[in-house]
Amino acid sequence: MIIENEGFVIKNTVTGRIHREPNKKSYANTTYKTEGAAKAGVTRTLKYYAKAIAEVEALEEAGEKAYVARFYNAYREATDEALERTYVNDPETYEIVTREAYGDPQVTHTGVCPYNGETITRTIGINDAWGHLDPLCESHWTR
């Protein structure tokens, strides 16, 4: 049985958030039992983006439009400077740490509450920010 603080996570060194493999379901666990399993998760992530880049390049070479590729969105994430996410294809972006060492980093933002229009300041876990648990996100109030 895994206790919440046991295991390893992949930390995104650019954003500080826990990394979720792009080919995993959104509800899948992001904690790995061993360091080797976490390293395998990083390898799967890098291979996913390499596969996306290769697919788009092959289609463009064949004279097709890039956007018909199955993994076109992943290709754009890894190559389009305007999206500011080109770091996803860099192995230096991912750091493997224990769950306990990662802790629970917090972030504080001030913004307009979509429920009543008031300006609020909230402190929330960095991995929950801008999700349905965030009071500055509209989906928080519509659930």
Boundaries of every domain in the chain: 8-102, 106-142
Tokens of 22: 């792009």
Tokens of 16: 């500080």
φ, ψ dihedrals at 29, nearest 5°: -70, 145
Calpha distance 143→139 (Å, rounded): 6
pLDDT band at 1 (very low <50, low <70, confident <90, very high): very low
List alpha helices for the chain, DSSP H: 35-61, 72-79, 99-102, 138-142
54 Cβ partners below 8 Å, 6+ apart? Answer: none
pLDDT of residue 113: 82
Tokens of 118: 């008031």
Crossing angle (nearest 10°) for helices 72-79 and 35-61: 100
pLDDT of residue 143: 55
Q: What is the pLDDT of residues 110-131, one digit of tens each?
A: 888 888 888 989 888 888 776 7
Strand partners, 120: 111
Calpha distance 11→3 (Å, rounded): 19
pLDDT of residue 125: 83
Q: Report how far apart, in Å, the C-alpha atoms of 126 and of each of 11, 85, 110 are.
A: 12, 18, 14
Q: What is the pLDDT of residues 42-100, one digit of tens each?
A: 999 999 999 999 999 999 999 999 999 999 999 999 999 998 888 998 999 999 999 99
Q: What is the pLDDT of residues 12-52, one digit of tens each?
A: 999 899 999 999 998 888 999 999 999 999 999 999 999 99
What's the whole-model pTM score?
A: 0.79
